[in-house]
A = this chain, B = another copy of it.
Amino acid sequence: MTLEKLTPSRHSPSRRRYDDACGTAHALDLIGERWALLVMRELMLGPKRFSEIRADLPGISANTLTQRLEGLEATGLVVRRRLPPPASAQVYELTQWGYEAEPIIQTMGRWATRSPAHDPTMPLSATSLMMSFRTMGDPARMAGFCARIGFSIGEETFLVRISSRGVDVERAPIAGAEVVFAGAATAIAGAVYGGVPVAELEEEGALEVKGDRTLAERFTALFPLPPKAGAHP
């Protein structure tokens, strides 16, 4: 058997690409692999470390995360950076072009909330919750609403500013916020998307609201979910 199978070791003549000039197909070549888009989602609010990403992506294996980060770095969507000496840790950060993928994440997220199978009680990362505020805010309900809302989730804090210009979200200290939600992302999602009364969550100890309680109630009503899709041809 001198004739070994040469083809299999052919290092991927076309590493499973769609050979298609269509932009959508090319996008799938770039970010269509499993987990890729969710890794990018986790970086949308700023750089993160390997283990932070991993912790916020329940179910991804270290192995797969390594591969995705390598791939995204190779295509120019992510850069690996080393923090200055005091905390010389390595972080991953989106490039300019990487950040420009946010509309993809938003469009997909908005569309999927119409799914009858969507279950908003599942685990949720702090980043996805914050991103959802950018995506799901209803302009009509936000008209005339102007507030600074703080969120304290685990070790992180986020500041959400709502104004006539829309929703602005950043990972930042919550100083100056008129009201602060403190608790797990899932609990906050329950109040905003699940229709669970804030008071009830507080009784359960799942959520703590500090500051203007009325403002908190009004905030939770700004993000209506669209009607579920039926099987209409």
Interface, chain A (partner B; CB < 8 A): 18-30, 32, 34, 37-38, 41, 58-59, 75-76, 79, 81, 93, 95-97, 100-101, 103-105, 107-125, 128, 131-132, 135, 186, 189, 229-233
Q: Establish whether residues A231 and B95, one from each chain, have CB atoms under 8 Å apart when the complex forms.
A: yes
Report chain B residues within 8 Å CB of A29: 117
The number of times this chain is found in the oligomer is 2
B115 lies within 8 A of A30 (CB):
yes
| Interchain residue pairs with CB less than 8 A apart (11) | A21-B189, A23-B108, A24-B131, A27-B109, A28-B37, A28-B38, A30-B112, A32-B32, A95-B231, A100-B229, A101-B111
User: Are A116 and B76 CB-contacts (below 8 A) given A122-B19, A186-B21?
Assistant: yes
Of B24, B105, B128, the residue contacting A112 (CB under 8 A) is B24
Which residue on chain B has the smallest CB distance to residue A229?
B97
CB-CB under 8 A from A125, the residues of chain B are: 20, 22
| Complex Cα gap A116–B18 (Å) | 16
Could you say which residues of chain B place their CB within 8 Å of the CB of A79? 231, 233
Kindly list chain B residues whose C-beta atoms are within 8 Å of the C-beta of A37. Answer: 24, 28
If A24-B131, A25-B128 are given as contacts, then 20 extra A-B residue pairs at C-beta distance below 8 Å, sorted by A number, are A18-B59, A19-B122, A20-B124, A21-B186, A22-B38, A22-B109, A23-B109, A23-B112, A23-B113, A24-B105, A28-B38, A29-B117, A32-B32, A76-B230, A76-B231, A96-B230, A97-B114, A97-B232, A104-B104, A104-B111
